[in-house]
Amino acid sequence: MNHERELADLRDGTERLQDRIDDVRADWERKRRDPSVPGAPSPDGDPETADGGAIAGDWEGEGPAANRAGQ
């Protein structure tokens, strides 16, 4: 493969990767604004509003399992 072709392939790959990054970022921002998405941090940075104020151990079974594991 010649260097010009390799360079063109790398540029194409970079563009495709940047497009994918932009798509994922847009999807993540959409999910952050959607209150029905559990665990997504809110756009205002308040972790309490991201998951409705739940804290570790709120889910059934998590507390006892963690206790048995010594955590």
Per residue, what are the HEC states of 1-50? Answer: CCHHHHHHHHHHHHHHHHHHHHHHHHHHHHHHHCCCCCCCCCCCCCHHHH
Pair of tokens at residue 1: 């493969």
Report the distance separating Cα 16 and Cα 47, nearest Å.
33
| Domain boundaries, position 61 | 3-68
Sign of the torsion angle spanned by Cα atoms 18, 19, 20, 21: positive
Q: Write down the pTM of the prediction.
A: 0.52
Structurally, the chain folds into a number of domains equal to 1
Question: Residue 37 pLDDT more than 80?
Answer: yes
User: What's the pLDDT score for residue 47?
Assistant: 54
Average pLDDT over residues 44-66: 54
